[in-house]
Copies of this chain bind each other. A is one copy, B any other.
Amino acid sequence: MLNTAWRRRVGYSEAMTTAADRAAERAEQRRAEIVHAAFKVFTERGYHQAGIADIANELGIGHGTFYRYFANKRDILMHVLADAAERLMSVMAFADPRATDTVAEYRAQVEQICDRLFTLFVEDPEVVRLMFVEALGADPEMTALTLDTYRGLAKGTELYLRNGVEKGFLRADLDTEVTAQALIGVIISCGLSLLTAKDPAAQRERWIQAGTRVMFEGIRSPE
């Protein structure tokens, strides 16, 4: 379940009618705006090069206001990353690991996940930039946190592999843990690649094709 360190807990209550509630709603909206602006700024200039003033500027608010919503620069980074992670997760966690019973089914499932994932990469390259670049290098603690997140993604992926092994349509001796990490590596590489691709949409297709081929059949020629 990923790591919870940068998970936002946004508790909307269903009835939001009092003035205080409306204020809280507006505050929450403001927070979201700031996160959005920070997303853009961190992506464009990089976390360290970006300043609080840049974020405030982006929104046309005073930079003092920023501190009414976030404790400090690190805090907003955490929230931005939580947002990015959530977007990533919402795509990857869509399917049910135990829903497939045959290679064909699983393959279809993988293709679907990849399709959605790589679409995200093409449409929101900021997510890639944040998750695979800024989060990784912000500082040692951030690096550790990010590696934990990657491991979390791998754990999620592993569930699919284990399902396949248990149901017998994947190799019985598959090292599900390491293999899952390797697959995450492929995904990261795809994300980074699309970041600078001239025609990301076209590349996306190739990655889906090539990725699933290797994943399922390997590279070797059928004898």
If A134-B137, A137-B136, A137-B138 touch, whether A179 touches B219 (CB-CB below 8 Å) is yes
Interface 1/0s, chain A 164-179, versus B by CB < 8 A? 1000111110110111
| Distance of A25 Cα from B92 Cα, bound (Å) | 55
Interface 1/0s, chain A 3-45, versus B by CB < 8 A? 0000000000000000000000000000000000000000011
When distances are taken between beta carbons in the complex, the residues of chain B under 8 Å from A187 are: 185
- The distance from the CB of A184 to the nearest CB of chain B, in whole angstroms, is 6
Do residues B103 and A221 form an inter-chain contact, with CB atoms below 8 A? yes
- The distance from the CB of A176 to the nearest CB of chain B, in whole angstroms, is 9
When distances are taken between beta carbons in the complex, the residues of chain B under 8 Å from A178 are: 193, 203, 206-207, 209-211
Stretch with Cβ within 8 A of B (4 or more), from A51-59, A78-86, A139-147:
A139-147
If A185-B186, A186-B185 touch, whether A217 touches B214 (CB-CB below 8 Å) is no
Do residues B221 and A218 form an inter-chain contact, with CB atoms below 8 A? no
When distances are taken between beta carbons in the complex, the residues of chain B under 8 Å from A72 are: none
For the complex, is A97 an interface residue (Cβ under 8 Å from B)? Answer: no
For the complex, is A88 an interface residue (Cβ under 8 Å from B)? Answer: no
| Distance of A109 Cα from B219 Cα, bound (Å) | 15
Closest 4 CB pairs of A and B: A137-B137, A185-B189, A218-B218, A175-B210
A–B Cβ pairs within 8 angstroms, 30 of them: A46-B140, A48-B48, A49-B140, A132-B136, A133-B143, A134-B137, A136-B136, A147-B192, A147-B193, A147-B196, A164-B219, A168-B221, A170-B219, A171-B213, A171-B219, A171-B220, A171-B221, A174-B213, A175-B206, A175-B210, A181-B193, A182-B186, A182-B189, A182-B207, A184-B189, A185-B186, A185-B188, A214-B215, A215-B218, A217-B220
